[in-house]
Amino acid sequence: MHGEYKMPGGKLVVVDLDVHAGRLCRVQVSGDFFLEPDRALRDINAALEGRSASADEATLAFAIQSALSADVLMYGISPEAIAVAVRRALHEGAQA
């Protein structure tokens, strides 16, 4: 499943994932955003792995935010924008 979201005033956030037994798996966030340090991308993917496929945006955004250490800097991307892209991937996958 694949979802994209262009954050207003920001960059493109892309999410590819599968759903297994109602849970997100093989979650991969990508895009033309800026993120420091770069290892934070792994933390974001890991924060989404195993979440319920019915989790709402606020829940997903909170899970991402909670997984990020205080030194992480985001430019053109936010936990909320990633959550929107996840919901879009799930929505489009459900229609397919």
Which residues are at the interface with another protein (CB under 8 A)? 4, 6, 9-12, 14, 16, 28-36, 38, 41, 73, 75-76
Give burial (CB, 10 Å; 0-12/13-18/19+) of 11.
middle
- The residues near 42 (Cβ < 8 Å, ≥ 6 apart) are none
Q: Which is closer to another protein, CB of 28 or CB of 58?
A: 28
Q: Which is closer to another protein, CB of 58 or CB of 73?
A: 73
> Least distance from C-beta 54 to another protein, angstroms?
25
> Least distance from C-beta 64 to another protein, angstroms?
14
27, 13 Cβ separation under 8 angstroms? no
Residues in the chain, how many? 96
> Least distance from C-beta 95 to another protein, angstroms?
19
